[in-house]
Amino acid sequence: MARLFGTDGVRGVANTELTPELAFNLGRAGAYVLARHLTPGQPVNILVGKDTRLSGDLLESALIAGILSVGANAYSVGVLPTPAVAWLTHSQQMTAGVMISASHNPAPDNGIKFFAHDGYKLPDELEDEIEAFLQQPERLPRPAGDGVGRLYSVTAWPDLYIDYLCSLVQTPLSGLKVVVDCANGAVFDVAKKLFSRLRMQAELINANPDGLNINVACGSTQPQGLAARVQAAGADMGLAFDGDADRLIAVDHQGQVVNGDAIMAICALALQRAGRLANNTLVATVMSNMGLEQAMLNAGISLLRAPVGDRYVLAKMQEVGANLGGEQSGHIIFLDYATTGDGLLSALQLLQVVAASGQPLAQLASVVKPFPQVLHNVPVANRSIVDHPQVQQAISEAQELLRGRGRLVVRPSGTEPLIRVMAEAETEVLATQAVQMVARAIQESK
């Protein structure tokens, strides 16, 4: 049987793949497994948050029912960004936290992701233990009477997260004018309150979720509308989040996208100047552009690469003692302040650099001069097709084509039925040629 937990929790189309029955059983198994690692008699308190998807209520109800059915307590925080759930889990001394979200995926999808008591994602061993109990549900207890868990509504807790973010801002931001794309997702209410507290000139767009418009032609994966609005409003910059707000993509005053690579470079250089870049190291992934690598080399900063996925970035950061890392897609981890990628935190760090420097974002971002990069997502029914001999042969030929002039990355998506084929090269023509060789082989092998 394939492993249920992927790189970012349990994902699937809500109500057909990620069913309420599965959510119920995940609540039961998750709460029971986590309780087994506590001192006997210690209460099990699990925080539950969600994004704005229509299916969130369905899955939340089932998940909470499962949690309560094994005697654990559930604390419902309502719609809130994923990183806020992680932070509150730790700060409010919860046994664990659960986020119901499929991040940047379309509205029909959803997901369930667990956080441990310290705000970090569950280790693989605990996820495997939960999966084992999913296969043997009869082993799980069914207490009665006062043994059943209680449900608490803690909708005031998001203000604690806003307070925390505000406490990290040391540079006045009131002089900046920004446009904020909330992706009709989990950040819409928190962002409004946060930027108001900071007395910023902030115009929020795509901040009217209806359960179905999350990530639709907006947010960090589609910032074109934000770019147009930034220029029309004469704003200093734009900030785009994804559905659960663990990603940030920026837009400069000229409407040019500033991706995660450039944001990491800007923040790494600022931390280095302040003497606060731990071990003078930045951790990125295999998808980050060689232009970032060159910029860091020029600054004397070590760039280390991890596999794609913020859990792998975090593992590498902890291994080498780094405090900054992330992905080109906008997942950025400031480990001094958070245990996971946090779009709002990243935005505040970037805004402070811009405000303190007096330079426009476009100028700061110009430190990264990207190599031409071509990315093609090939839909597949089975992601293991990447191991097919014909595909492996094409990969070898493409790597030989790029030898000394670029690089190739071929990887199955951790969240979607896709094979991602990416090439960087001295020219876009060369990168495109390499990508097409591999994509064609994948399509012919299906």
Nearest alpha-carbon partner for 135 in 3, 46, 17, 36: 3
Q: Alpha-carbon distance 442 to 446, whole Å?
A: 6
Active-site annotation holds for 55: no
Residue 256 carries which side chain, given as an amino acid letter? Q
Residue 239 carries which side chain, given as an amino acid letter? L
Identify whether the C-beta of residue 213 lies closer than 8 Å to the C-beta of residue 107.
yes
Q: Alpha-carbon distance 102 to 51, whole Å?
A: 8
Residue from 103, 288, 329, 346 carrying the catalytic annotation: 103
Pairing mode, strands 237-241 and 248-252: antiparallel
Residue 236 carries which side chain, given as an amino acid letter? D
C-alpha dihedral (134, 138, 141, 142), degrees to nearest 10: 110
Residue 298 carries which side chain, given as an amino acid letter? N
Nearest alpha-carbon partner for 187 in 245, 258, 113: 245
DSSP characters over 135-179: H-GGGS----GGGS--EEE-TTTHHHHHHHHHHT--S--TT-EEE
Structural tokens at position 171: 């540079």
Q: Alpha-carbon distance 330 to 374, whole Å?
A: 18
Instruction: Return the sign of the alpha-carbon dihedral for residues 362, 363, 365, 367.
Output: positive
Q: Residue 76: in which H helix or E strand, if any? A: strand 73-79
Q: 427-431, long-range: CB within 8 Å, 24+ apart, which pairs?
A: 427/372, 428/372, 428/374, 430/372, 430/401, 430/402, 430/405, 430/406, 431/372, 431/373, 431/374, 431/402, 431/406
Which residues are identified as catalytic?
103
